[in-house]
Amino acid sequence: MKTSAFIAFLLAAYPVFCSNYATTPETLDCRKYVAQFAPDLSATQLVEQDLLHGFWTQETPDGIVYKFHFYENGTANRLQQDASDNLKATQLNWQVENWNGKPVLTLQEQGVFMVNPMQVEQTCDGMVLTSLAGSNRLVLSYSPLLDHAEMESLKASLEGDWTNVSWSESGNQCNNLEDQAGSFLNFRFNANGTYIMACGNDRLKMEESGTWDLSKDGRFIFFQQAGLPLKVAKIAGIDEHGMVLEHSMNAPGFSDFFCSDLKSFTFIR
């Protein structure tokens, strides 16, 4: 969806507010990563490169933490984690535009009409985003990406078939008296970025497929099915023999498959 006209309207409507924006972009020399930037990069391009070369954290007063993972295809995964460690992932569309030398970032939740254009001020700690439609501000803290070699090694270690060994056959957590005999939960992660998840019991089998990717810090797995909300699981541990995923069944989407109070699920190859 094009947002240029909407941003132009806001800039025209708030000329005094916008005139106070800083016009000198950061050079990013204070960042913890090393990148060869062309000397003639615009303010917009600097912001784009900055977003792509890190992952970004926003903390709210009520204990909710948002982590943003930006991708070159114009999408971003926003991971929400509350004080009880519950997880929720949302996919956004993003773009940075240059208005009179001022970089403006727009974030739009997929499937939602409303956009939120924000003036960007880069600092050595991260970014300060100020809404063009008001005085709301978001402070994003910068964290470096997981080393590329480590990321590739972690992805390779996930590839293959995984069988859950911690799922109980008891149906009591579903508020019924029937045992779920033969309950199973299996994952297959393919090198081409696709996955298959199969789960069920002796009477019922369900299967889903889609694409998977790691978060930019290597701590979470994102699961995407076309036209459906993004799902997320936290990697609590992994080695050549086993893997533990936390909250994978408690996150939105996964709770449809099993009723469980389990906080972690253990898999073996």
pLDDT by 10s per residue, the chain, length 269: 444 443 343 333 333 333 222 333 345 667 765 456 666 778 898 899 899 988 899 999 989 999 999 999 999 999 998 887 778 899 999 999 987 778 999 999 876 766 778 999 998 889 999 998 877 889 999 998 888 899 999 999 999 999 998 765 544 455 443 456 778 889 999 999 999 999 888 888 889 999 999 999 999 999 999 888 888 889 999 988 899 988 644 455 555 445 555 667 889 99
End-to-end, the C-alpha distance of the chain in Å comes to 43
Would 4-144 and 148-268 be classified into the same CATH topology?
A: yes
| CATH level 2 (architecture), domain 148-268 | Beta Barrel (2.40)
Residue 46 contacts by C-beta under 8 Å, 6 or more apart in sequence? Answer: 25, 26, 27, 28, 37, 103, 122
* Helix/strand/coil for 208: strand
- If you classify domain 4-144 with CATH, what class do you get? mainly beta
Domain segments of the chain as ranges: 4-144, 148-268
DSSP reduced 3-state for 39: coil
Q: What share of the chain is helix, strand, coil (3-state, %, to 5)?
A: 15, 40, 45
Residue 215: how many CB atoms within 10 A of its CB?
20
Helical (H) or strand (E) element with 99: strand 87-99
